[in-house]
C-alpha cells in the first residue's frame, strides 16, 4: 500500500525512567500529582529522587515506548528525540536501537543532561510521573530530517511536545512535511493535564491536521470539556479520520467516519505497573494500521500490547509482540 521507507516515524521526548515502588503516603508527603505526569525542574527532580527508595533505570518516554512497541511487532520505525552525550543518553540510545528502532538524532553536546522521568509506582499499580525534560526539551525543527519524515507512512507525535516551544515547532514541522508528502499524521493527547495546558492548540490540531488520534477517556473528555465519554466520542467523529479512545479495563472504542468499533480489554492476571499502557496500545494500533489490517484488529493488537506491558514493571514490552500477536491472533495479525 505504500513505498515508504518507514512504517512509522515517531517524534517525542527521549527520557530514561527511574522507577521505584512506594506507598501511598509517599505520594501525599511529597505533594505529587497522583496518576499524572508533572513537569519538574532539576532541583525538584533531585529532591524527589533523594526521597525515593532503591530504583531501577529503564529507557522510557511515552512516544519512544510506542516506537519500541512498534519495533517489537516487527514494524519499520524511526524515532526522533534529544538526549545529551552522557551516560543516561547512551543508555537511551542503546535500548531503542537494540529493540530495532532507527534512532539518528545527534545527542546534545552541551546544555542540560538527558531527561529523566521519576516514576513512583504505588501498590494499586498506578504510576505517578515526575519529568525533568533536560536535553529532551532541546528538540527543534532542525532534528526533523525532511526525507525521513516525508517517507514514512505515518508520523506519530506526542502531545507532551507542546510543553516546550522548540519541540512544538519540531512537531508542526514534522506534521507539515508528512502531510505535504501525502502521508498520515497521528497524535496522542498524552495526559489530561497536558490537554488542559494546550487545549486550544490541540483542538485546532485535531480539527485540521490529525488523521489518527489516540486519547484515553479523561483526555478526550478534557479536550471537549465534557463529562460524558459518549459526548466526547460524538464530538471527535468527523474531526479526524480515526480516533482510538482507550478506557482502561473497559477496553477501547475506535471511532471512524461511519463506524464505531468497541474492543474489549485483554485480560491480565495481575496488573503490576500501568506505566506505558497507552503507549503500547498506540503501538499495536499503528502496527495494524500500517500493515493493512482492519480497525477492530488494530484495536485488538493495541489491547494485546497494553496487557503485556501492565503485567510487569516498566513501559516497554519484555517479550516479542510479533510472537504474541501470532499466537493470539494467528493469520489475522498478518498483512491483508
The contact set with its own copies (CB under 8 A) reads 20-21, 49-50, 52-59, 68, 86-88, 91, 94-96, 98-99, 113-114, 314, 316, 318
Q: How far is CA 238 from CA 206, 255, 258, 292, in A?
A: 10, 9, 9, 22
Comparing CB distances to its own copies, the nearer of 86 and 201 is 86
CB of 112 to its own copies, least distance (A): 13
Contacts of 43 (CB under 8 A, 6+ apart): none
Residue 64 or 255: the one with the smaller Cβ distance to its own copies is 64
Nearer to its own copies, 101 or 240 (CB): 101
Cβ distance to its own copies smaller for residue 19 or 144:
19
Strands 6-11 and 102-103, by their bridges, are unpaired
Instruction: Write down the least CB distance from residue 105 to its own copies, Å.
Output: 18
Dihedral angle computed from the Cα positions of residues 294, 300, 303 and 305, in that order, rounded to the nearest 10 degrees: -80
Q: Where are the alpha helices (DSSP H) in 84-237?
A: 87-98, 146-150, 165-180, 192-197, 199-208, 217-224, 229-236
Q: Are 213 and 236 in contact (CB under 8 A)?
A: yes
Residue 113: CB minimum distance to its own copies, A: 7
Complex with its own copies: residue 134 or 284, whichever CB lies closer: 134
Look at the chain and count its residues: 336
Termini Cα distance of the chain: 10
Nearer to its own copies, 91 or 241 (CB): 91
CB of 114 to its own copies, least distance (A): 8
CB 235 within 8 A of CB 203: no
Amino acid at each position: 500500500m505504500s513505498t515508504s521507507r518507514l512504517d512509522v516515524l515517531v517524534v517525542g521526548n527521549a527520557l530514561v525512567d527511574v522507577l521505584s515502588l512506594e506507598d501511598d503516603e509517599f505520594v501525599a508527603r511529597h505533594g505529587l500529582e497522583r496518576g499524572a505526569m508533572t513537569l519538574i525542574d532539576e532541583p525538584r527532580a533531585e529532591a524527589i529522587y533523594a526521597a525515593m527508595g532503591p530504583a531501577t533505570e529503564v529507557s522510557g518516554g511515552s512516544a519512544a515506548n510506542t516506537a519500541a512497541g512498534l519495533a517489537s511487532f516487527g514494524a519499520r520505525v524511526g524515532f526522533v528525540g534529544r538526549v545529551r552525550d552522557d551516560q543516561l543518553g547512551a543508555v537511551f540510545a542503546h535500548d531503542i536501537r537494540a529493540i530495532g528502532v532507527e534512532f539518528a538524532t545527534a545527542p546534545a553536546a552541551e546544555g542540560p543532561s538527558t531527561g529523566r522521568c521519576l516514576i513512583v509506582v504505588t501498590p494499586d499499580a498506578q504510576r505517578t510521573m515526575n519529568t525533568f525534560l533536560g536535553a529532551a526539551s532541546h528538540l527543534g525543527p532542525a532534528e526533523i530530517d525532511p526525507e525521513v519524515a516525508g517517507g514514512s507512512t505515518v508520523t506519530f507525535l506526542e502531545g507532551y511536545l507542546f510543553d516546550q516551544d522548540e519541540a512544538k515547532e519540531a512537531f508542526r514541522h514534522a506534521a507539515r512535511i508528512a502531510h505535504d508528502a501525502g502521508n498520515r499524521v497521528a497524535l496522542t493527547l498524552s495526559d489530561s493535564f497536558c490537554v488542559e495546558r494546550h487545549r486550544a492548540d490541540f483542538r485546532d490540531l485535531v480539527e485540521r491536521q490529525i488523521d489518527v488520534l489516540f486519547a484515553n477517556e479523561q483526555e478526550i473528555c478534557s479536550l471537549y470539556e465534557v463529562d460524558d465519554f459518549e459526548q466526547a466520542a460524538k464530538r471527535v467523529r468527523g474531526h479526524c479520520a480515526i480516533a482510538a479512545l482507550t478506557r482502561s479495563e473497559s477496553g477501547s472504542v475506535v471511532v471512524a467516519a461511519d463506524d464505531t468499533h468497541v474492543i474489549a480489554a485483554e485480560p491480565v492476571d495481575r496488573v503490576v505497573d500501568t506505566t506505558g499502557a497507552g503507549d503500547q496500545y498506540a503501538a499495536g494500533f499503528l502496527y495494524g494500521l500500517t500493515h493493512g489490517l482492519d480497525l477492530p484488529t488494530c484495536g485488538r493488537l493495541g489491547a494485546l500490547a497494553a496487557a503485556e506491558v501492565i503485567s510487569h514493571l516498566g513501559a516497554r514490552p519484555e517479550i516479542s509482540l510479533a510472537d504474541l500477536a501470532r499466537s493470539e491472533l494467528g493469520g489475522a495479525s498478518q498483512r491483508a
